[in-house]
Amino acid sequence: MAIITHRVSLLLLSMAIIFLETRVSSTLFTLQNRCTYTVWPGTLSGNGAAVLGGGGFALAPGASTQLPAPPGWSGRFWARTGCNFDSSGAGNCSTGDCGGQLRCSGGGAPPVTLVEFTLGDNNKNDQDFYDVSLVDGYNVGMGVKPSGSGSGDCQYAGCVSDVNGNCPPELRVTGASGAVVACKSACAAFNAPEFCCTGDHSTPETCSPTQYSEMFKNACPTAYSYAYDDASSTCTCTGADYLITFCPT
């Protein structure tokens, strides 16, 4: 009987260790909606990583949800606005649409504000890399704040300004009411190499900030404003969880 009890104790101990290792190794994303309207977060995973949140869901004003991610996960989050879906999940969104489905299997249609992550392995003390990007334009303010016991720089990244309210006429996207619902990137608006960092402008040395990328940068200093805006826009942290807020102001 003593031997059986000992074996059971070892089994329970092993299960507890596995459970603790799983908790330590995973990263918890908390998505919070502080907009005055419903947003439909889209999620996209890279490199065959696990799909978080089924790819997309509705998030009412004031609501939040938590999504655990495994070590090494990479992908992006964005907000979709003005969405209508039927009972099968088919429909469309005014901004950030991902192929007319509630559960995204691809990225959001520009212009859209993006939060991008590449996670390390917490058990190996690897760094996480993250950023907020306006390279594909802007639709909704977003912020990323590390939480928990993270170490390193762990800086806040985000775009809290109302870029739509200050968007130049040539970049504006308007909704049915005529209100500006998104602001295009210059690349999307003009499809020129100097704005898209392509062709003869495909390196950091030949693709410089433009008046349009500087407009985005002035509004959101910690966000990517164009493809090679790495120095002030890529953030790192180790062992943290992350709060992602829509409309952080």
Which is nearest to 141 in space by CA: 164, 159, 165?
159
> What 3-state class would DSSP assign to 193?
helix
Express each pLDDT in 108-117 by its tens digit: 999 999 999 9
> What 3-state class would DSSP assign to 135?
coil
27-246 CATH: 2.60.110.10
Q: How far apart are CA 111 and CA 212, in angstroms?
A: 14
Q: Is 198 exposed, middle or buried (0-12, 13-18, 19+ CB in 10 A)?
A: middle
Label residue 2 by pLDDT band (50, 70, 90): low
Sheet hosting strand 235-238, strand order edge to edge = 40-45, 74-80, 114-118, 127-133, 235-238
Residue 18 exposure: Cα atoms within 13 Å on the Cβ side: 6
> What 3-state class would DSSP assign to 179?
coil
Q: What six digits make up the tokens of 229?
A: 């805006």
Express each pLDDT in 66-94 by its tens digit: 999 999 999 999 999 999 999 999 999 99
